[in-house]
Amino acid sequence: MKKVWFITGASRGFGLSLSRELIRLGYPVVVTARRVETVSELAEGKDQVLALPLDVTDQAQVRSTLQKALNHFGRIDVLVNNAGFGYFGAIEEADEEAVRQLFETNFWGLSDLTRAVLPTFRSQGSGHFVNISSIAGLSSAPALGYYNASKFAVEGFSQALAQEVGPLGIKVTLVEPGPFRTDWAGSSAPERQVKITDYDATAGEKVKQLRNNSGKQPGSPDLAAKAIIKAVEAENSPLHLPLGKGTVPRALQQFDDVRKDFEEWQEAASHVDFGDDAFWN
């Protein structure tokens, strides 16, 4: 029996590619988006596909949509927390209301949906959370500070979740893509309205690069969908699934930079317990 998938943000990007591939393979799928008309075509004439409206920041709708999915299919086996967006601008330039909304979607929406599904997964004794993170959840860059923060939060949340639910037969996979040809750097990503010239060479330059490369990124969302399905169906599914040729080198460089600081400061860091006063005298 094929697993039942539940996907948020299925109207474009990874969500859309993943939905199409799953439907092609004959999986039962719940496709959701804030405006259901943007995903309704995916379900037309297909008994194994259910299209539902879902704003992940609306807790009441999260629970009602999940219940509709359970009533229809009887179970959910894979939850793909894909809904999210980017935000571009230096930290000092950022609009507070905009970045709070970023966290409402990218982190709190993911958290609420995860918590709502957990009782079902626990009662089944199985289930798989696929949380769409980013290489930006491992390695930061100028102009992406708040987006980095939202994805770093997803990383920490998911790693703790994996330790809590692993003994219950439930799996967690963090998908960590690099540059892919989605609309992430296009119209879906708002930008700072206040521009401070001191940041032109750092955050400003990064924003230009991101906008100019939108639609030209090397990564194929359709091929990413195949990789995600393969990871979920694997006997030993990974906790971390980096996607994109440049993603692993960038992550490893980040780890090397952290290791360098840790090793250089290990001696000082190891002498801050009670009784270590002599080291500092």
Active-site residue, selected from the candidate residues 151, 171, 199, 206: 151
Q: Which residue is associated with the tokens 């971390």?
A: 240
Q: What length is written for the chain? A: 281
**Exposure on the CB side of residue 7, measured as CA atoms within 13 A:** 32
The tokens describing 161, both together, are 């979740």
* Residue among 233, 239, 237, 220 nearest 178 (CA): 220
For residues 50 and 72, the answer to whether their CB atoms sit within 8 Å is yes
140 flagged as catalytic = no
The span from the CA of 272 to the CA of 265, in Å, is 12
Active-site residue, selected from the candidate residues 147, 150, 206, 214: 147
| Beta-carbon count within 10 A of 143 CB | 27
151 flagged as catalytic = yes
For CA atoms 251, 113, 238, 26, give the dihedral sign.
Answer: negative
For residues 207 and 145, the answer to whether their CB atoms sit within 8 Å is no
Q: Which residues are catalytic?
A: 133, 147, 151
